[in-house]
Structure formats: C-alpha cells, structure tokens
Amino acid sequence: MGELASWLRQPLNSHSTVPMANQVANLYSFMPYVPGALVLRMGRLFDVSPLGQIYAGRLVNAAFYVLMVYLALRILPEFRLPLLMISLTPMSLNLAASFSADSVTLAIAALLTAFIFRLAFDDELTSVRRQDGILVLVMLVLLTLCKFNVWMSALVLLIPAKKFGSRRRAAVFAGTCLFACCIAGFGWQRVNASAIAAYGAMRASHGTVIADNIAFLQAHPLKFLGIVKSTCFSMVWAWLWEFVGVFGWVTVALPGPLFAVYIALLILAACTQVRVVVTGPQRAILATFVVLTIISIHALLWVFQTDTTVLREAFAGSASVAGIQGRYFLPIGLPTLAIIGNGRIQLNRFFLTITVGAVVVINILALMTIWQAYY
C-alpha cells in the first residue's frame, strides 16, 4: 500500500512521452475509449499523477456501467433478475471497472437489449414511436463501433409487426438497423485500414496469413461450421467458467463450487416468473441471433489469429478456433437466457433474497481470490 501511495503522489511529466505499439487494441474504434480518454485529458490539464488518472478512468467506466445497467433494469418489462445477475458476475464487475473496451461495450449492450425487450414484450407499449426507432439505431451504431457484431440488429425482429403499423414498416426498420450496423462496422474498418494492415503484418511474423484464413472461410464454409461445433463442445465448460469469473490473463479462476452455484442460480432465475409471453417465433429469433453471434466470434478469431499450422490441420478436419474467452458472450447472456424463460417456477421473496445474497457473497470471495493471487 505504501508503494501505491508513492505512485499516486508521483508528478505527471506530460512533456515526456514514449510511443507504444499496440496493434491489437488499434483494431477497435475510438468509441469504447471515450470516457477513459476524457478522464486522461482532464488529468493532463490538472497534472494528476499517472496512477491517479488510471484509477479515475476505471471509476468513471464503472460509474457509466452502473448507470447503464440501472437504466436497463428500470425499463425491462421482465427478466430483471437474470440481467442483474449477468451484470454482477465477478467477471462483469472486473471488466466494468477496467480501462478496457469491454466496460462501455457491456454497458451499451445491456441498455440496448433491455430497450428492445421493452418494445417487444411490454404490452402497454402498443406502437413504436419515431424516437424509439432512432434511439435503437443510435445504440446499435454505438455498440457496433464498440464490438463488431452486426447480428445485434436481429434483435429488433422480436418487436411485433403490429407495433410498427404494418409488416412492411417492420421489415424496413429491421433492414435499416442491419444496414446501419454494416455501415458503422465496415466503414470503420475502411477508415482504420492502416491499423488493420499493421496488425496483419504483426500476425504474419507469427505465422498468420489473414488472406488465407478468409479464403478458407469462403471456400469451405461447411468445414468451418464443423470446426465451430467441435470448438464449442470442447470449450463450453471453460467458457462458462470464464463467463462467471476467471481473472487476470485467464489464470485466476473463481473456485469451482462458487462457479457451479452461480450458473445454477442464473439458470433458475431465467426460468422464474416470466409474466411476458415469449412466442415460439420470438424464441427462434433469439436462438438464431445467439447462434449467428457465436459463429461470428469464431470467424473473427479464425481470420485474425489462426496460423498456418492450424490452417493445415483444418483441411484434415482436426482444427479448433483458439483465443475465444467466456467474457465474449456476456453481451448475449440475456437473450440466451430469455430462450428458456417459461414462468413455470414462481419467484418468491425468499428465492430473491437467497439469490442476491449469493451474488454478493460470491463477489466478495472472488475479490479475496484475486487479492490472494496478486498480493
């Protein structure tokens, strides 16, 4: 603690800078770093110590996350407990209070999902107003700039066509959302072409040829789907564990019993007191969205990280996609749980108290696990 205190008092020397290459982070857009960048800018103006700026940036990211999750919980017509539990997993909180792109990404994803669920499942809302559509479009564009997943736009298909006034208007809105996501995502890639090229050159030095990986996807889509399937089956438990809490460089894991309890409570919460009616077609839309997102995550990691050795193995049918972590699935946690929501198990105050208490205790124990690992 004494060492940290001395670093907090260290004066800022803003005139002495050293450039650092970070080709991986350069693939992201500026969007998820806006809150942190504003903090650093203010820190330079007021000569705050470097460590002080880092802590301030993490606190601002955490505050933004809490605000977005709070708003999401307020507007959700149902599934509040599952969203709360997803937002309060030790992994989610670890990312929320970080300087990474994940903090803002998870915050916007929570609010966007909640708002679409409200438009889709709240029977008191009989029509989608123009301002509602604009707000959905803005959040979709912002989220696409944070994390390139155009399939988030598919969630608008959950909204009944009658709330748009006609099937044609509903189809036009869905198409507009997909188009906006594509423009934002592919447009940024074009603007950021030099950084993507630098990343490709860096990966080429490690045996990864991005053009060859793309060619494999185009020529062998069914073989790639087989690779996705085998990767999912072999990694599902590791991903679930990381979804709840595996910290550091994926090395400090939440103890197994705590992970199992959290997953069990999360699934049980998803199956309780669903007062809204999730129709069969809506469940199909949710399932399609989840599957397409998982395939997209595999495709992105395949393109940018698969080396020539793994590519050769792919032709023999024995390859897998490396580098995927459970935290990547946090933004699609609520839509996934909504698929199984049925209301057959009624939620009562005792279960709510036990669940919230377990979440608090597990987070305290997770913090103790991290403390013991690093201190």
Note down pLDDT in tens along the chain; length 375 residues: 666 777 777 777 777 777 777 778 888 899 999 999 999 889 888 888 888 888 999 999 999 999 999 999 999 988 999 999 999 999 999 999 998 899 999 999 999 999 999 999 998 889 999 999 999 999 999 999 998 889 999 999 999 999 999 999 999 999 999 999 999 999 999 999 998 888 888 888 888 899 999 999 999 999 999 999 999 999 999 999 999 999 988 889 999 999 999 999 999 888 876 678 888 999 999 999 999 999 999 999 999 999 998 988 888 878 899 999 999 999 999 999 999 876 666 667 777 888 889 999 999 999 999 999 887
* Cβ-Cβ contacts under 8 Å for 94 (sequence gap 6 or more): 245, 247, 370
Contact 86, 266 (CB under 8 A): yes
Distance CA 6, CA 144 (A): 40
In a domain, 6, yes or no: no
Q: What SS3 class is residue 173?
A: helix
Q: Specify burial of residue 200 (Cβ count, 10 A radius: 0-12, 13-18, 19+).
A: middle
Q: What is the pLDDT of residue 273?
A: 60
Q: State the DSSP H helix or E strand holding residue 310, giving kind and residue range, or none if neither.
A: helix 308-315
Q: What count of residues does the chain have?
A: 375
- Residue given tokens 């977005």 in the structure block: 68
CA–CA gap between residue 294 and residue 199 (Å, rounded): 23
> How remote is the C-alpha of 60 from its chain's centroid?
19
Q: Are 129 and 135 in contact (CB under 8 A)?
A: no
CA 296 to chain centre: 13
Residue 78 to residue 84: CA distance in whole angstroms: 11
Assigned domain for 3 exists: no
Residue 95 lies in a domain: yes
Structural domain that includes position 143: 24-374
Q: Give the Å distances, CA to CA, from 217 to 41, 328, 360.
A: 42, 21, 44
- Is residue 359 situated within a structural domain? yes
247 forms beta bridges with 252
321: Cβ contacts below 8 Å, ≥ 6 apart: 227, 228, 231, 298, 301, 302, 306
Tell me which H or E stretch contains 246: strand 246-247
The answer to whether residue 235 sits within a structural domain is yes
Whole-prediction pTM value?
A: 0.93
Domain count along the chain: 1
* 91 located within any domain: yes
45 inside domain: yes
Category of 16 on φ-ψ map: left (φ > 0), alpha (ψ -120 to 50) or beta: beta
The type of residue at 302 is: W
Q: Is residue 315 in some structural domain?
A: yes
